[in-house]
Chains A and B, each alone.
Chain A
Amino acid sequence: DAKTTQPPSMDCAEGRAANLPCNHSTISGNEYVYWYRQIHSQGPQYIIHGLKNNETNEMASLIITEDRKSSTLILPHATLRDTAVYYCIVRVGGYSTLTFGKGTMLLVSP
């Protein structure tokens, strides 16, 4: 799987949008971009995934650049409960396992 690069930590004020970047410059055409998050002492939680189009669900939006070399996860109105480690993962279509990096620790403050 292609490697991803994420900042180790980010801060966000409660109620503001959190924009989490991810670089995946060696991504292949059949690799999807997945985002998971892990709140302290819990298992990872799926957020969203996409191939090349932007995606939105009830939790977040995923913006993928046209060349697919980077993406941004957007939490539109961050709350204290969004404090977690966020993992950006590229995953080959049809292959099973997830390869996690170290992720970005997002701290949402009042």
Chain B
Amino acid sequence: GAGVSQSPRYKVAKRGQDVALRCDPISGHVSLFWYQQALGQGPEFLTYFQNEAQLDKSGLPSDRFFAERPEGSVSTLKIQRTQQEDSAVYLCASSLGLGTDTQYFGPGTRLTVL
């Protein structure tokens, strides 16, 4: 069956540009997570949705980062006025239940800010 998909797979942005990264979770999965992975590091939590409700955004590094999941399925992570330190792989994961189930990850979007 279809797994978690993310688009685009690669994004190059000039410093100061806004970007939008999309995540399509596994159909029917209630929970959705965003993680950021810097080069050579493990993924770090950004934010968590349960259906359309954003229950935890404690990992978002600044107010330039914004995530939404308006209809409880597809999610978008938006980064405004990108900076070089935003360069990373952004991973999306979904799980069937209320967050404690196994998380299934997408392939990630590699963002490079020049």
Whether B106 contacts A43 by the Cβ 8 Å rule is yes
Given contacts A43-B4, A44-B91, A87-B42, contact A98 B100 (CB under 8 A): no
| Cα(A42)–Cα(B106), bound, Å | 8
Whether A46 contacts B42 by the Cβ 8 Å rule is no
Output the nearest chain A residue to B9 by Cβ-Cβ distance.
Answer: A41
Whether B41 contacts A102 by the Cβ 8 Å rule is yes
Q: Flag the segment in B43-51, B60-68, B79-87 that touches A.
A: B43-51
CB distance from B77 to the nearest CB of A (A): 15
Whether B43 contacts A44 by the Cβ 8 Å rule is yes
Whether B44 contacts A100 by the Cβ 8 Å rule is yes
Given contacts A43-B4, A87-B42, A103-B42, contact A96 B48 (CB under 8 A): yes
Determine the main DSSP class of A at the interface with B.
Answer: loop
Please indicate the chain B residues that have their CB under 8 angstroms from the CB of A97 in the complex. Answer: 33, 45, 48, 56, 59
Please indicate the chain B residues that have their CB under 8 angstroms from the CB of A99 in the complex. Answer: 45
Please indicate the chain A residues that have their CB under 8 angstroms from the CB of B93 in the complex. Answer: 43-44
Please indicate the chain B residues that have their CB under 8 angstroms from the CB of A85 in the complex. Answer: 42
Q: For chain B residues 79-110, which have a beta carbon within 8 Å of chain A?
A: 91, 93, 99-100, 102-108
CB distance from B23 to the nearest CB of A (A): 11
CB distance from A21 to the nearest CB of B (A): 17
Whether A93 contacts B100 by the Cβ 8 Å rule is yes
A110 proximal to B (CB < 8 A): no
Whether A98 contacts B103 by the Cβ 8 Å rule is yes
Whether B107 contacts A98 by the Cβ 8 Å rule is no
Whether B100 contacts A95 by the Cβ 8 Å rule is yes
Output the nearest chain A residue to B95 by Cβ-Cβ distance.
Answer: A96
Given contacts A43-B105, A43-B108, A44-B91, contact A96 B41 (CB under 8 A): no
Q: List 13 A-B contacts (CB under 8 A).
A: A43-B93, A43-B105, A43-B106, A87-B42, A94-B100, A95-B99, A96-B31, A96-B48, A98-B35, A100-B42, A100-B43, A102-B40, A102-B41
Known: A41-B107, A85-B42. 13 other contacts (CB 8 A): A43-B91, A43-B105, A44-B91, A45-B105, A46-B102, A93-B100, A97-B48, A97-B56, A98-B45, A98-B103, A99-B45, A100-B42, A103-B42
